[in-house]
Chains A and B, each alone.
Chain A
Amino acid sequence: MSLRDLTAAEQVAALAAGKVTSLELVDAHLAAVASDEVGAFLAVDPDRARARAREIDALPERPPLGGVPIGIKDALSTRDLVTTAGSRMLEGFRPVYTATCVQRLEDAGAIVVGKTNMDEFAMGSSTENSAYHPTRNPWDHTRVPGGSSGGSAAAVAQRQVPWSLGSDTGGSIRQPAALCGIVGMKPTYGAISRYGLIAFASSLDQVGPFARTVRDAALLLRHMVGRDPMDSTSLDMPEAIALPVASDLRGLRVGVVDELMGEGVEPGVRDAVGYALRMVEALGGTVVPVSLPTTPLGLATYYVLAPAECSSNLARFDGVRYGPVVDDDTLLDQYERTRGELFGPEVRRRIMLGTFALASGYYDQYYGRAQRVRTLIVREFSAAFDQVDLLASPTSPTVAFPLGARTADPYSMYLADVCTIPVSLAGLPAISIPCGLSGGLPVGLQLAGPAFSENRLLGAAHALEQALAFDTLPPGLVT
C-alpha cells in the first residue's frame, strides 16, 4: 500500500501519530504529479511544496491539516505561483496575492503542490477548453474527466493528491467528481469566500472540495468556510462543519426530482442512481417523488445569466496591466487583437452571448427575464424543502464521454450540466458522490439541501457512501 492510497484524514492521523513526515507525503505525491499521465496539472512548484513540508515537520506542534498535500484549481489566485485560469490571456501570470480559501488551508497546514487544469476561465464541462492541454479521465484515458474543474477531479481520482479545490458555477465541481468517481461538493453560495477566485459568473461561483471520501470533503470544507471581510457576499455558517459519523438515514426524507430523471438520462446512470435510492430506503430514509416544474428552464436561464456576468468579469483582461499583450498601433486595435487572439473560442462565444443579453433594448427580454425565472427556481426549491430534507438526482445525465465527442457542438456540451445548474441558480449546497458504475465508468449521485444544510448533506452522503462501498481506485492505476 502506497502513501497515496491513504485518505486525507488518514494522512492527517498518520502525521499526528508520527508515522510519516509531511516531506515523505509531499514527495510521494509529487512523484505522481511529475509523471502526470492524465494531464491534471498546469503548474507545479516542488521546491515550494517541499520547503513548506520541512517547515511544518519542524514545528513543535502540527497544524490541524498536518502538512498534507493539496491541488488547487488554476482559477484560484496563488501568490508567486503561476495562475492562468487555463487561458493564454494569463500565460505566465504570477499573482501578488493568495485567495482567502487557499490561504486558510495553508494556514491550517495544507501544502499546495500545484495548480490543476481547467476549462478556460471555467467555461466548459470537459476541460477540453483548456488553452494548454486536455486532461484525461483516470478511469478511461480516452475520455474526458468532466469540467471545468477536470484537473482537480482527475488529480484526486489518480491519487496524485488526496484532495483538491475546484470551483463550481453551474456544476464544475459536481460533474467532474461524478465522471471521475470521487466526491465533490459545492457549498451554499457565500459559505466560502470568493476573494481570489478568478470570476466567471459572480452570482453563481463557489469554491468547493474534491476528495475520495465525504469525510475528507468535510474536513477540507471545515477549514475554508466563514465570512471574509474581503468578500461582501460571504457569510458565517450557522454552525461549524462537523465530520460526518451517521451510519443510517432514519427519518430522512429524500425527494427525487422528476424533471431530472427522465429524458436525456442514460439508462445506466438511471440504474445506478436508482440503486442508491433503494439504499437510502434500506438505511431507513424515505424516498418520495418531487416535481420542480421550472427546472427544465434552468439551462436556458443559466446560459443568459452566466455569460452576461462573464462578459463584464472578463472585460478587465486587456493585456495592459498584467498578462501577455498583442501589440498594435492604437489602443482599440491592441484591445481587439489581445482579446481576439488570447481568449479561446468558447470564452469569446460566451462574452458575445453575454454582451448581447445585456445590450440596451434586449436587457428585459434576456437578462431581466432570466432573473425572473431564477427567482421562480429559488422559490420552487424552497417549497420543495418544506416537504423533504434533501433532493436527489443524477449529477450528470451521462458517464464520461470520449475526448472530442462534444467539442464541435457547444449545446451538447452545455447539456452535461443540466442536472447541476438548477441547484446553482438557487445558490444551494449540493454534493456528488459515486454511486456505481455504468459500462465500467463511474456514475454520480447528486444530493442537494437547503441553504447552509452542509452538515445534513455531509451526514447523509457519508452514511450512503459507507453503504454503497464504491471503490474509488480506477482500473489499472498502480500507486
Chain B
Amino acid sequence: MSAYEPVIGVEIHVQLSTRTKMFCGCELSFGDPPNTHTCPVCLAHPGVLPVVNEEAVRRALLIGVALGCEVAPRSIFHRKNYFYPDLPKAYQISQFDIPICGRGEFIAIRDDGSEIRVGITRAHLEEDAAKLTHAGGRRVGAAGSVVDFNRGGTPLVEIVTEPDLRSASDAAVFLRQLRQTLLFLGVSDCSMEEGSMRADANVSIRPVGADQFGTKTELKNMNSFRFLERGIDAEIARQTAILGSGGQVTQETVHFEPETGAITSLRSKEESHDYRYFPEPDLVPLAPDPSWVAELRAGLPELPLPLRRRMVDEMGLTTEDAEVLTDSPALVAYFMEVAAAVDPKAAANWIRGELRAQLREAGQDPWESTVTPARMAALVGLVESGAVSVPAAKEVLAEVISSGTEPADVVEAKGLGQISDEDELAAIVAEIVAANPVQAQQLRDGKDKVIGFFVGKAMAQTGGRADPQAVQRLVRAAVLGQ
C-alpha cells in the first residue's frame, strides 16, 4: 500500500471533423498530398483575416451541452503568441479567460459499476498547428524538417478536467468513455492513432489524507489509452521514488517512452514560453443565440452511459453486453434495429458473439456487411421459433455473409431446417444408443453428463439439424425408459 495518493487531471484535444478549417474555407483532409489544402489565410499571407467556422462553434456547443457545461453567453478569442515553423501566423488563435464552455461534469462508470465523477473545467475552441515531420524521427538533432500545412487550422476543442482522477486506470476509463460520448455526438473521429484525439495528463502525488496538491508534471502526447495508462503509472512510480528518497518533484513537461517504459524530461526553451495572450482583434465575440443552444440541448442524441443503463434495466442485457454494443453509434443503431424485431437479449448474444466473430475474418463491421439488420433479425427469429438449430443457424449466417442471400432461402436451399419429426429422431436415437452400449450403461448408472455425448452424436449424424432438446428427451426415454 503506497503512502501516496495520485492526483490526475487531463487535457484532451479533439479535432473536429468539420468539412472546412476553423478560420478559412480549406477542406480538411487526411492522407492527401502535403500542402494541397492551403490558402492565403491558413498560410498567413500578409493582410489576411480569420473568419470563424460556424459548424465548429456548433460542435463545440454540442460538446459543452453534452458535458453539462455552462455555455458562455459571450466568449472571446485570444492570440497565443510563439514562434514555431508549424504556426505560420506565429500565434495560435485560441480562447483564454472566457472559453465558450465553462464548468461541467462527466460521470464515467468503472467495470464494477461504480462511478468516477470528473469535473470539467472548461472546453474551448482553437485551431490546430501544421504537421512537422523531422527527418530522422526526433525533433532534437534531426537532419531536417518539413511542414505540411494541410492540418494547420483544423478546428480543435480542448477539454480540460479538474484534478479529480485518482488512478491511471480511472483516467483510462474516463477517457475511453469520454471518447465514446464524443463519437456519439458525431463531432470528431476521435482516433488516437491518427491524432484526431490527443491527451495530456497533469500528474502529481500527495500523502494520503493531505489537502494540498503536490507539484505536478505534464505528461504529453500519449497516442493510445494503453500508453496513457502505462505512462501515468510510470510517472506516479517515478514521483513516488523521488519523494520516497527525500527529493522534490520538478514542475516540468515529461514524455513517456512506450518502448522502454521510461519517463523522459523535456527541458527545453519551450518551457520558458511567455505566450503574451491578448484578445484577438480580428474576431468579434462569440455570442451564441440562447435558442440555438437550447435547440442543441434538446436535440442531443442518447449518450452511451444512459443508453447502457437503459439496455440493462429495460432490455434485459448484461452490463458486458451493453458495453460491447455501445462501442460505436453505428453498432448501437444496428443492434436497436435488430432488437426491435426480436428478443433483445437474443439479438445481443448473436450480434456480439457469432456475427462479430464471423465478420472479423472478413474485416467487416456489421453495419457494412451483407447481414442487414433485417436479415439478422430473420435469422434470430428462425432460431427462436425452433425452425433451425443454433449450429445450423451459424452455417446459415456464414452463407448470408458470403452470398447475401436471405436466411430463410439458405435454410431451404441447404436443407438446414431442424428435424422435429419425433419418429425420425427416435429412429436415429435408437441407432446411436445401440451402437454405444458403454455410454448407455453410464447414463443408467446416473452419470447424467453422458447425455451430451448422445446429443453430439445425433447432431453429427443429422448435420446439426436435430433439435437438441428433443434428442435429450428421446435419449432418456430410450435408455432410462422415462
Contact = CB atoms under 8 A, between A and B. Distances in A.
Contact of B47 (A76, A233, A315, A355): A76
Given A308-B278, A331-B85, 16 more contacts: A77-B45, A85-B46, A194-B47, A196-B47, A201-B281, A202-B281, A202-B282, A231-B51, A232-B49, A232-B52, A233-B284, A312-B278, A321-B45, A335-B83, A360-B274, A363-B276
Contacts of A85: 46
B88 A232 contact: no
Contacts of B45: 77, 95-97, 321-322
B48 interface: yes
B127 to A, nearest CB: 14
A390 interface: no
Contacts of A309: 278, 281
25 contacts: A75-B47, A77-B47, A83-B46, A90-B46, A95-B46, A195-B47, A196-B47, A198-B47, A202-B282, A230-B49, A232-B282, A233-B49, A233-B282, A311-B81, A315-B83, A315-B91, A316-B46, A317-B46, A320-B85, A321-B88, A358-B276, A358-B278, A359-B276, A360-B274, A360-B276
Closest 4 CB pairs of A and B: A315-B90, A203-B281, A358-B276, A202-B281
B306 to A, nearest CB: 38
A452 B450 CA distance: 96
Contact of B89 (A76, A308, A315): A315
Contacts of A331: 85
A229 interface: yes
B249 to A, nearest CB: 23
Interface in A299-348: 308-309, 311-312, 315-318, 320-322, 331, 335
A41 to B, nearest CB: 19
A195 B51 CA distance: 11
B207 interface: no
A197 interface: yes
A252 B46 CA distance: 42
A232 B283 contact: yes
B50 interface: yes
Q: Give the interface centre of B50, B51, B90, B284 by most chain A CB atoms within 10 Å.
A: B90
A231 B91 contact: no
Interface of B: 40, 43-52, 79, 81, 83, 85, 88-91, 274-278, 281-284
The A contact surface, by secondary structure, is loop
Interface in A193-238: 194-199, 201-203, 229-233
B400 to A, nearest CB: 52
A376 interface: no
A331 B85 CA distance: 9
A469 B20 CA distance: 55
B40 A96 contact: yes
A14 interface: no
Nearest to B90: A315
Contacts of B40: 95-97
B284 to A, nearest CB: 5
A16 interface: no
Q: Give the interface centre of A196, A308, A312, A355 by most chain B CB atoms within 10 Å.
A: A312
B81 A312 contact: yes
A170 B26 CA distance: 34
A166 B255 CA distance: 51
B88 A316 contact: yes
A77 B90 contact: no
Contacts of A367: 278
Given A230-B51, A312-B276, A315-B83, A198 B281 contact: no
A315 B46 contact: no
Contact of A199 (B47, B90, B277): B47
Interface string A351-373: 00001001110010001000000
Contacts of B274: 359-360
Contacts of B91: 312, 315
Contacts of B46: 77, 83, 85, 90, 93, 95, 198-199, 316-317, 322
A195 B88 contact: no
Contacts of A322: 45-46
Interface string A44-83: 0000000000000000000000000000000111000001
Contacts of A96: 40, 45
Contacts of B44: 316, 321
Nearest to A356: B276
A321 B48 contact: no
A99 interface: yes
Contacts of A360: 274-276
Nearest to B77: A232
A231 to B, nearest CB: 5
B97 to A, nearest CB: 11
Nearest to A315: B90
Contacts of B52: 232
A334 to B, nearest CB: 10
Q: Give the interface centre of A76, A230, A233 by most chain B CB atoms within 10 Å.
A: A230
A316 B51 contact: no
Contacts of B48: 195-196
